Structure 1
Amino acid sequence: MTNPDSDSLTQQSLSDGEEQLDRLQQAELTRNTCMSNWRAGGVQAWMEVVMGMPMYTRACSENVKSGKVLLGLTDEDLELGLGISNPIHRRKLRLAIEDYRRAEGDQGLSKASEMDHHWVATSWLSDVGLPQYSQTFQSHLVDGRVLNSLSRRDLERFLNISDQFHQTSLLLAIQLLQMLSFDKEALQARRAKCEHQDQDPVVWTCHRVMKWIREIDLKEFADNLQGKGIHGALMSLDPSFDTDAMAKALGIPSNKHMLHRHLYEEMKTLAVPLK
């Protein structure tokens, strides 16, 4: 005998599975369709799957019935109409909508659109050397477009990052992305080329910097860089980051003059600012 409750559960799970598949298919369609042509289902799928904002799907389904409506939403609409109180969440949506609006003019979506908030909160922050902010970036759903918009004030006001050096580290990591037009593949290709060669330090991750520190025979200090935000763009683009700053980050005692001199010469060879 079959259990009727079991049958109903199976049907329910099939229904849920089919619904999920439909959402994924709808989301995929939005990638290649002008936003102005989206129907209600596409809008909801985009919000949940593409934007990774399922917490707003219900409000969206009740209020936004087409892509045309989505294109016209103001910040006030997002806050009052959809109940999005988090200003970074609203910014994320506004920037995405603007990106799609530009894409309708045959420009295509920006490269920043390929950097979702999971990648930013895990991979990017790890490469920057500030993984301690992962949860903050994750909760604020910071993606590539939002990264491109962040200012020092934003970091402090919205993400509660008060350490000025960490702010500088993040902003210079963002500047590197801007220099490469947010082309993730181009960045990865350049990093791959210098993984085993001491060149192109501007693209080095903090892990590559630590590897270099070990290679120049300062391995006992390398692990001190964890969580400090020392990466190649900071070393190359911040004129105030000199040998003394690196020595301090590494925890090299100030009275170890020969180690300081050694670090100076190695940074000079690497062609980063010295002072």
Structure 2
Amino acid sequence: FSKWSVDQVCDWLEDIGLGQYGLFARRWVSDGQTLLSASPQDLEKELSLKHPLHRKKLQLAIRTLTGKQPERSAELDYIWVTRWLDDIGLPQYKDQFSEGRVDGQMLQFLTVNDLLFLKVTSQLHHLSIKCAIHVLHVNRFNPNCLKRRPGNESQFSPSEVVQWSNHRVMEWLRSVDLAEYAPNLRGSGVHGGLIMLEPRFNADTLAMLLNISPQKTLLRRHLTTNFNNLLGQQAQQEKREYTEAPGYSPLNITAKVKPKKLGFSNLTQLRRRRSDESRDYVCPIESPTSQSGQSAANGVQVRPYAGFRGLSPILDREPARDQVGLEDSKADTSQ
């Protein structure tokens, strides 16, 4: 890469979706080495790379190109990511993600600040994206791992449900005689991964998102029965343990995530580190250890459904590294 000509570098920028910077590259780049040795400040000044996600994309793409092992996630381009947003029930963010050129590899390194920059402020949507990225991790970034259509099966295993798309969840609602409420899940961010992996997501959460009023007790009971059948005994037990733990706070479907206010002690650290260099990943690179004690890191196989422990993106963050504050004061006190 260091020996690539200006033409090769510009063609490559076009290939990765950053062709709009080709003109600046022709003026500044002498060969591939120019990019290899450039700092984020150089990229911003010389290439006019002011969009923080474009800077991140370029740096990750260079790392992949010069790395020894090919990244499976790097094979998923930003157009694939817009289809993935459809699958996880968040199509309203497609324009922002497309403009940010967010590709499969960038999903691995998305931070809370990145999502806020992409105008994703809903706590529930942060959780949705977190769980969906985790499902990609477990499935080795297989582009077709999410199930969109019902099969012939009448019984579902948790490892199948965890891979359901938003559309597939809506199909399930139709199959349990809740067809009139299914369209309410469009744009909700509800998919199989969120249902199975987020400990606070329960039948009441789903009922609220479906706009089934608390007065409709029979309908809610019907939903709860079918929801519990869908989860299976293991996930039901884990969620029950979680809700019975001291300091438990229910999932608030209207809560917002906002940048944490920094005190004076944080200001020097902020000067040293740019906001787009944050390490507060939405879904940490190392996949959580499964209940059998195996880790997905280092290529060890993890069961497709390994429980949600340590997965909740809002609750599992260490306070010292926490980049966000919740408006929901209850969540603050529970932490």
Q: Look up the match of 1:41.
A: 7
Q: Which amino acid aligns with 2:76?
A: M
Q: State the Cα distance separating 1:37 from its structure 2 match.
A: 4.4
Q: Which of these two proteins has the greater Rg computed from alpha carbons? A: 1
Which has the larger helix fraction?
1
Alignment match of 2:72 (pick from 100, 111, 134): 111
Cα 1:195–1:77 shift into 2, 3 Å: farther
Q: State the Cα distance separating 1:127 from its structure 2 match.
A: 0.4
Cα 1:192–1:250 shift into 2, 3 Å: closer
Q: Distance in 1 between matches of 2:92 and 2:149?
A: 28
Q: State the Cα distance separating 1:204 from its structure 2 match.
A: 0.5
Q: Which amino acid aligns with 2:75?
A: E
* 1:195-245 CA distance string (max 9 Å, x none): 443341111100000000000111010011011110011001100000100
Alignment match of 2:40 (pick from 75, 94, 102): 75
* 1:108-140 CA distance string (max 9 Å, x none): 2x111111112212x111001111111111111
Are the aligned partners of 2:87 and 2:148 in contact in 1 as well (CA < 8 Å)? no
Residue pairs, 1:29-178, within 5 angstroms: 35-48=1-14, 50-102=15-67, 105=68, 107-108=69-70, 110-121=71-82, 123-156=83-116, 158-178=117-137
Are the aligned partners of 1:195 and 1:208 in contact in 2 as well (CA < 8 Å)? no
Cα 1:160–1:193 shift into 2, 3 Å: closer
Identify unmatched segments of 5+ residues in structure 2.
Answer: 241-335
- Report % sequence identity: 37
Structure showing greater relative contact order (alpha-carbon pairs closer than 8 Å, 6 or more residues apart): 2
Q: Which amino acid aligns with 1:155?
A: L
CA RMSD across the alignment: 1.8
Q: State the Cα distance separating 1:193 from its structure 2 match.
A: 8.8
Q: TM-score, normalised by structure 2?
A: 0.65
Alignment match of 2:172 (pick from 188, 200, 212): 212
Q: Which amino acid aligns with 1:41?
A: D
Are the aligned partners of 1:205 and 1:231 in contact in 2 as well (CA < 8 Å)? yes
Are the aligned partners of 2:184 and 2:210 in contact in 1 as well (CA < 8 Å)? yes
Q: TM-score, normalised by structure 1?
A: 0.79
Instruction: Give the match's secondary structure for 1:56.
Output: helix
Q: Distance in 1 between matches of 2:172 and 2:148?
A: 15
Correspondence 1:246 to 2:211: no
Q: Which amino acid aligns with 1:257?
A: T
Are the aligned partners of 1:151 and 1:171 in contact in 2 as well (CA < 8 Å)? no
Q: State the Cα distance separating 1:36 from its structure 2 match.
A: 3.4
Are the aligned partners of 1:120 and 1:143 in contact in 2 as well (CA < 8 Å)? yes
Moved over 6 A (4+): none
